[in-house]
Amino acid sequence: MKERINKRWLLNKRPHGMPEEDCFKFEEIEIPSLEDEKILIKTLFLSIDPYMRGRMNDAKSYADPVKLGEVMTGESIGIVVESKSNNFEEGDYVCVHRGWQSYIVAHGNDKQLFKADPNIVPASTYLGTVGMPGRTAYFGLLRVGKPKAGETVVVSAASGAVGTVVGQMAKILGCRAVGVAGGERKCSYVTNELGFDACVDYKAGNLEVDLKAACPEGIDVYFENVGGEVSKAVAKNLNPGARIPICGFIAHYNATDFEKEETPFHVFGALNPIPEHRFFVVTEWFEEWPQATKELSKWIQEGKIKYRETISEGIESAPQALRDVLSGKNFGKQVVKVSEE
């Protein structure tokens, strides 16, 4: 292999608010010779997701924070360009969670390596609709939300990588699907292209009134991605027995003093009676990931699930891509195209 240089982004300092350029450090290092049982993966696409902002903080969470000087966390899909493992051959496509870098050395026995087939759905889709965001929607809705046909399912960040799958799955399951998104363009996409029954534009200034109108029979399942004013508006329309899977709350991620924030746990925990709500992580169902990916891929092939991607060019663009996700500038799933095959 001619090129032996790995380009990667490290966490340079902890951010206060939006992570600016000096929070990251770009470096190029030589790739060492491959040891036995190892594989070398050339990154094709890098996933950019809201959770990355939380991992930049030095705070207790469901996962350890990225240490200063470490490679920024993130999932990639790449192609095996060299293998000394019996489990992988050159040309295999594989998903790997090893952060923002252009080449990745991994052990061939690593249980977290996930083979992908770009003949079923495009390679980048394994980072979005059939990947971690899609699986998050799948398990969060089915296992925590537990929707029944005829119920009303509301999802915030409805045009995003997770929200689009939640709403379309709700329709597949026979529910009324209502999205909450920012701006006419995103709301139009959610209803006209994805087939949601309604979408509330939280930027229009009538959030409570519009949400009540979109959910005339109340809300049975609320899939939480945002927090803030959306949580408060939803709380006023919940039906008895409502379930709330809490995936995240992006409205609070850039807070400088997180402990003073009114999170969804405060909002829903203050209700009487308290609705069933909990934070979940997709790794709770790790053993079932292949089945979820298979079912999501089938729905895409059948035209039941549609998706959109925003693709940034070059690994150098990763920090700006993260800022775009945190400020809602991206549309659908945000990925970075790192290299050609």
CATH number at residue 156: 3.40.50.720
CB neighbours of residue 275 within 10 Å: 18
pTM, two decimals, is 0.88
- 43 and 156 in a common domain: no
Is residue 313 in a domain? yes
Of the candidates 149, 130, 183, the residue with the CA atom closest to the CA atom of residue 306: 130
For 149-169, the DSSP string reads TT-EEEEESTTSTTHHHHHHH
- 136 and 123 in a common domain: no
- 80 and 16 in a common domain: yes
Per-residue CA distances from 146 to 36, 101, 143, 237 (Å):
46, 38, 6, 18
- What is the end-to-end Cα distance of the chain in Å, rounded? 14
- 121 and 136 in a common domain: no
Q: Is 221 left (phi over 0), alpha (psi -120 to 50) or beta?
A: beta
- The C-alpha atoms of residue 9 and residue 318 are separated, in whole angstroms, by 8
Per-residue CA distances from 147 to 108, 152, 206, 247, 302 (Å):
39, 8, 27, 16, 22
Is residue 300 in a domain? no
- 209 and 143 in a common domain: yes
- 152 and 73 in a common domain: no
- 113 and 145 in a common domain: no
Is residue 82 in a domain? yes
- 205 and 83 in a common domain: no
pLDDT of residue 214: 98
Signed CA dihedral, 200, 138, 249, 71: sign only: negative
- The C-alpha atoms of residue 178 and residue 197 are separated, in whole angstroms, by 6
- The arrangement of strands across the sheet holding 198-201 comes to 198-201, 176-181, 152-156, 219-223, 238-246, 276-279
User: Domain range for residue 331?
Assistant: 5-128+308-337
Helix and strand totals (H; E) in the chain: 9, 15
- 264 and 144 in a common domain: yes
Query: 100 — phi, psi (to 5°)?
Result: -80, 85
- 175 and 54 in a common domain: no
Is residue 288 in a domain? no
- The C-alpha atoms of residue 188 and residue 196 are separated, in whole angstroms, by 10
Of the candidates 236, 230, 75, the residue with the CA atom closest to the CA atom of residue 155: 230
Chunked mean pLDDT (size 10), the chain, 341 residues: 82 95 97 96 96 88 88 97 97 96 97 93 96 96 98 96 96 98 96 98 95 98 94 96 92 61 88 95 93 96 96 98 92 94 85
- The C-alpha atoms of residue 247 and residue 243 are separated, in whole angstroms, by 13
Is residue 136 in a domain? yes
Is residue 298 in a domain? no
pLDDT of residue 117: 95
**Token pair in block for residue 257:** 């003093």
pLDDT of residue 328: 85
Q: Please check whether residue 193 is in contact with residue 155, taking contact to mean a CB–CB distance below 8 angstroms.
A: no
Is residue 202 in a domain? yes
DSSP 143: I
**Token pair in block for residue 108:** 């061939």
- 139 and 112 in a common domain: no
Is residue 293 in a domain? no
- 124 and 33 in a common domain: yes
Domain tally for the chain?
2
**Neighbour-count burial of 308, counting CB atoms closer than 10 A to its CB (0-12 exposed, 13-18 middle, 19+ buried):** middle
Q: Please check whether residue 251 is in contact with residue 227, taking contact to mean a CB–CB distance below 8 angstroms.
A: yes
Of the candidates 179, 197, 112, 161, the residue with the CA atom closest to the CA atom of residue 335: 161
Listed residues 238, 268, 283: the one ending a domain: 283
CATH number at residue 332: 3.90.180.10
